Amino acid sequence: MIQIDILKAPIIALVALLGACSTGASTETAAPAPENDGPRIVQPGAPGQSSRTFSSTELDQVEGVSYTDADVSFMKGMIPHHQQALEMTALVRQHAVTEAVQRMALRMEISQRDEIALISAWLADRGETIEMSNMGAMQHEMMGMLTPEQMQTLSETRGMDFDRLFLEGMIQHHRGALAMVTELFSTSGAAQESTIFKFAEEIDADQLMEIERMQGLLNQMAR
Amino acid sequence: MKDMGTKSTTAFGLLAAATMVAGTIVAPESIAAQQQDQVSAAAPALEWDPNDPRIGLGAGWMDAESAINGMELLAAIPRPDGFFNPSTPADGRFSNTDLAFQDNLLIQGNYNGFQMYDISNPADPTLAVSVVCPGGQGDVSVFGDLVVMSAQETRGRLDCGVEGVADSISAERMRGVRIFDVSDMNNPAQVAAVQSCRGSHTHTIVTDPADSENMYIYIQGTSRVRPGEELAGCSGGGPDDPNTALFRIEVVKVPLANPGAAEIVNMPRIFADEQGNLAGLWQGGDHGEGTQSSRMTNQCHDITAYPGIGLAGGACSGNGILLDISNPENPTRVAEVSDPNFAYWHSATFNNDGDVVVFTDEWGGGSAPRCRASDPATWGANAIFRIGEDGQMELAGYYKLPVPQTETENCVAHNGSIIPVPGRDIMAQAWYQGGVSLMDFTDPENAFEIAFFDRGPLSIESMFTGGYWSVYWFNGRLYGAEISRGIDVFRLTPSEHLSAAEIAAAEAIMMDEFNAQLQPKVEWEPTRDVAQAYLDQMTRANRILNDRATEIQNVLNSGASSTSLNSLAAEIEADVVQIELGELGGDAERMAKLAAVLRGMAAQQ
């Protein structure tokens, strides 16, 4: 059983938390407990290695990872991406003939709005603006976004053809988002921060599921 | 029924206002109207008491207003310095998550490791040691000298370092379950780091009653699959890929004499159908008009093992399942359900008898407001199932936090555990910023709330993810892990819904160790409090004759001899026979239990 041996913690002053990242490996033997410098803080090593203790002055290292430019670009890029999705779902309300497509579009609308709010808050919290600099046609295409011509065609199509075109377009759109997530996780130092990690994962899971669902609907239409 | 139209418009008006989207946007009213269409008989609107004190609570981080009922707040311990970001409650790196308990030790997991608190005085938890080992989400369990912690984030390091792992493929990365030896609490040692393809979002300790030498850990991975170059054998393929890391859980075997040798021994395909299709359960999508869209079942979010009944409840994305765990190394699926109201099957909790199971739905993922007045009462809620003699599950009813929360409060059903009141099925549960709610599901078709605690939003301007991640009962007290505010400790207080004796009977249950997802079978010693609890329940429900109740009360008040206890027990047993024959009205089950308690009390004299 675990033995409890309390080291009483005197009240310590708040320390600055915007610290540098720790670079030390945890291979040294455990240092003696810091002298009345705050609560006991221990960092276990890898299996088989011994732990090390932090003193309260080292507390600012606990924060660890931060976000990178790649994270910011990813988040910024998602906004126009989501905005286009909302333009597409708006068209569904006007033109779609299939109920399943309408239901799916409504759900997409709600979750995309929630995500835009989340992204905006994340950027604002970090003092970043929403605007992306120079998003060219290349990047547009990489992100799976529809070209102005594709959007025009979609808005002019009617009947079942509209539903089909919407689904195909949204699948392309979602695939772009998945590509952006893959790109993010392949970038050195990116997606380390917990909020980005979680958000990127959710985009991945949600959009993949929606792609599968949309493909299912398309298959049904083909019969 | 409340005026749905007005409230929906307001809710969606706020939603539209909160976004910053330029360009052509559909008017919020029509979204509301469309949502309205989806509200159907199966997804009814929430009903609540307009005088509920939880409505309109003032916002704040550490100074929000609060409302409480049926409980008292004993302690509110903020997160220790260095483990929160004072400039914002929203810093997810420091989120408090899960709790585990042993003797006088409370283990609080967080996204950066775990804390160990001394709770020898539950009203004054004292931080003993902070363990730094980042990698989220910090789901924790304790077993003897071992603490197990789940890690899934790409920043997790084998050596518990804080600097993250920059390379997309790295031998320094750790995603899976970590095992720490904390026998010397001041020097916790990581003795094993069991890597898995999807990391570990949650884990479940499972024991084999016939095997005291090993402990098992089920890994529930929900996160992205690692490249095969980082962890051999990992593949993210679809159900046609026999090696896919999706559509399974991992089973770790831990030799207790040498936990360093812990390893994955099985990766059972628990969703397979009879044809061997790995994706044998819910394929994703909605269930028809007006229904929720449920996630595809390619993962379990969390599993609660109940070795006492040989079963585990799996909340697995698009389905709720039951697993036979009589051979823990090889769990097999024996029952499954889906539900048109569930977005994402999240957690499972059994009642003590093991014939009812509660599943929770995490619609919105936990960071979205889903307890708004406009949100259906059966979405983002608990679904309660009876387990039949045939081992199959049948839906009995739903329960949702019975008061709306605001647009800036993330809220949905989340983690909880049973409060061991004899004769009743009561679960204490976290609802994120919806607070704590105690659900009585003794009558599974008609679950209702018996106590609560809630604070106002963290902010009325921003949607911060906060509130309770988990609320668990341990040795007489309720402990809540508050994501951005710390740890809260509560004690139950008598009310119209819960008598002093019922509380005393629950508080008398003492355990050496408790993990909410390793559910213990509770047995009550025959005591005066337990007898009084049964009597209180029958009196409250008007299911006992006044004369008999008075007689029992007198005996309980008087410290009676074993002779009179036994003679009263005999009278009650005669009542039971008559009730079962239909000659007398009453609660045969509770009367029988009461008689047994009286005989037990007599035997102790």
Q: What is the pLDDT of residue A91?
A: 95
Residue A179, CB-side half-sphere exposure with 13 Å CA sphere? 15
pLDDT of residue B540: 97
- Euclidean distance between CA atoms B369 and B459, whole angstroms: 13
Asked whether B319 and B282 are in contact (CB, 8 A), the reply is yes
Element (H, E) at B217: strand B211-220
Q: Which residues contact B98 (CB under 8 A, 6 or more apart)?
A: B108, B109, B137, B138, B139, B140, B415, B469, B470, B481
Rounded CA separation B514/B142 (Å): 8
- From the list A40, A59, A114, the residue facing B368 with the nearest CB is A114
Nearest beta carbon to residue A2 from set B21, B185, B296:
B185
pLDDT category of residue A138 using cuts at 50, 70 and 90: low
- Report which residue type is found at A215: Q
pLDDT score of A222: 82
Mutate to test the interface with A, among B38, B224, B230, B410 (most CBs of A within 10 A): B224
Residue A221, pLDDT score: 86
- Torsion angle defined by CA atoms of residues B80, B86, B88 and B94, in that order, rounded to the nearest 10 degrees: -30
| Amino acid B291: pLDDT | 87
B448 - beta bridge partners?
B440
pLDDT at B40: 55
Residues B159 and B143 sit within 8 Å (Cβ to Cβ): no
- Contact check, Cβ <8 Å, B186/A42: yes
Search chain A and give the residue with CA nearest B364.
Answer: A111
**B34 to chain A: closest CA residue:** A106
- Those of residues 24-53 in A touching chain B at CB distance below 8 A are 24-26, 30, 33, 38-51
Structural tokens at position B104 = 């006088």
DSSP, res B285: E
User: Where are the extended beta strands (E) located within B65-104?
Assistant: 66-69, 71-77, 96-102
CA distance A64 to A56: 15
Tell me the angle at which helices A194-222 and A69-95 cross, rounded to the nearest 10 degrees.
Answer: 30
Give the class (CATH, top level) of A69-222: mainly alpha
With beta carbons under 8 A apart, name residues in chain B contacting A2: 102-103, 105, 145, 182-183, 185
The whole-number pLDDT of residue B240 equals: 92
Partner B contacted by A193 (CB < 8 A): yes
pLDDT tier for residue A114 given thresholds of 50, 70 and 90: confident
Q: Is A139 helix (H, G, I), strand (E, B) or coil?
A: helix
User: Can you point out the beta strands (E) in B256-340?
Assistant: 263-266, 285-286, 293-294, 302-306, 311-316, 319-324, 332-337
- H helical segments located in B212-336: none
Residue B454, amino acid: D
Shortest CB distance from A65 goes to which of B26, B81, B164? B164
Of the CA atoms within 13 Å of residue B300, those in its CB half-sphere come to 31
User: pLDDT tens digits for A19-33?
Assistant: 333 333 333 333 334
Within the 140-179 window of chain A, which residues sit less than 8 Å (CB to CB) from chain B?
Answer: none
Q: Say yes or no: A55 contacts chain B, CB-CB below 8 A.
A: no
Kindly tell me if the per-residue pLDDT of A74 is higher than 70: yes
List of chain B residues whose C-beta atoms are within 8 Å of the C-beta of residue A100? 286
> B293 contacts in A (CB within 8 Å)?
104, 107, 213
Cα separation, A17 vs A159, in Å, equals 58
Q: How far apart are CA B482 and CA B432, in angstroms?
A: 8
Round the average pLDDT of chain A to a whole number and report it: 79
- Please tell me the predicted confidence (pLDDT) of residue B390: 96
How far apart CA B405 and CA B410 sit, in angstroms, is 8
Whole-number Å distance between alpha carbons of B149 and B135: 10
Question: In DSSP terms, which residues pair with B473 in a beta bridge?
Answer: B478
Residue A108 Cα, gap to closest chain B Cα (Å) = 11
Question: Is-contact B507 B476, C-beta < 8 A?
Answer: yes
Min Cα distance A113 → chain B (Å) is 6
In the three-class reduction of DSSP (H, G, I as helix; E, B as strand; rest coil), residue B273 is classed as coil
Question: Residue B471's beta-bridge partner residues?
Answer: B480
| Phi, psi angle pair for B395, to nearest 5° | -65, 130
Q: Quick one: CA dihedral B119, B122, B125, B130, positive or negative? A: positive
Strands A40-43 and B126-132: parallel
Alpha-carbon distance of B325 to B160, in angstroms, equals 32
Ramachandran category for residue B314: left, alpha or beta (phi over 0 → left; psi -120 to 50 → alpha): beta
HSE of A75, CA atoms in CB hemisphere, 13 A: 29
Residue spans per domain, chain A: 1-63, 69-222
Q: Is residue A103 within 8 Å of residue B285, measured between CB atoms?
A: no
pLDDT of residue A142: 66
Q: CB within 8 A of B431, min separation 6: which ones? A: B371, B401, B405, B411, B412, B413, B414, B437, B467, B468
CB contact under 8 A, B166 and A189: yes
User: Does residue B493 contact residue B476 with C-beta atoms inside 8 Å?
Assistant: no
User: What CA dihedral angle connects A174, A179, A185 and A190, to 10 degrees?
Assistant: -80
Distance CA A120, CA B113 (A): 29
Compute mean pLDDT per 10 residues along chain B, 605 residues long, and list them: 31 34 35 46 86 97 96 93 76 84 95 94 93 93 98 96 94 98 93 98 95 97 96 94 96 98 98 94 85 91 97 97 97 97 96 98 92 95 97 97 96 98 98 98 98 96 91 98 94 98 98 98 98 98 95 92 95 96 94 97 93
Work out the minimum CA distance from B547 to partner chain A, whole angstroms: 51
Largest CA distance in chain A: 76
| Other beta carbons within 10 Å of B326 | 15
Q: Are B159 and A64 in contact (CB under 8 A)?
A: no
Contacts of A193 in chain B (CB under 8 A): 92-93, 155
The answer to whether A112 and A145 have CB atoms below 8 angstroms apart is: no
Distance CA B212, CA B499 (A): 39
Quick: pLDDT tens for A148-164. 999 999 999 999 999 99
Residue B125's nearest CA partner among A4, A37, A59, A3 is A4
- How many residues make up chain A in this entry? 223
Tell me the C-alpha distance between B467 and B501, whole Å.
Answer: 31
Say yes or no: A121 contacts chain B, CB-CB below 8 A: yes
In this predicted structure, what is the pLDDT of residue A59? Answer: 64
- CA nearest B262 in A: which residue? A47
> Which of these, B416, B409, B407, B432, lies nearest to B483 by C-alpha position?
B432
Q: Which of B110, B127, B184, B186 to mutate to test the interface with A (most CBs of A within 10 A)?
A: B186
| Region for residue A140 given its phi and psi (left: phi exceeds 0; alpha: psi -120 to 50; beta: otherwise) | alpha
Centre a 10 Å sphere on the Cβ of residue B51 and count the other Cβ atoms it contains. 6
The confidence score (pLDDT) of residue B136 equals 85
Interface predicted TM-score (ipTM): 0.85
For residue B414, give both structure tokens: 């989340």
CA dist., res. B239 & res. A18, Å (int): 45
Judge whether B491 and B504 are in contact, CB under 8 Å: no
Report the alpha-carbon distance of residue B536 to residue B32 in Å, rounded: 46
Q: What is the DSSP string of B524-549?
A: ----HHHHHHHHHHHHHTT-S-HHHH
Q: What angle do CA A7, A13, A15 make, to 5 degrees?
A: 105
- The answer to whether the beta carbons of residues B497 and B70 sit under 8 Å apart is yes
Question: C-alpha angle with apex B364: B362 to B369, nearest 5 degrees?
Answer: 110
pLDDT exceeds cutoff 60 at A63: no
CB B98 within 8 A of CB B469: yes
Q: Provide the pairing of β-strand B211-220 with B105-110.
A: unpaired
Type of residue found at B579: I
pLDDT at position A62 is 56
Identify whether the C-beta of residue B396 lies closer than 8 Å to the C-beta of residue B444.
yes
| Nearest-angstrom CA–CA distance, B62 and B84 | 13
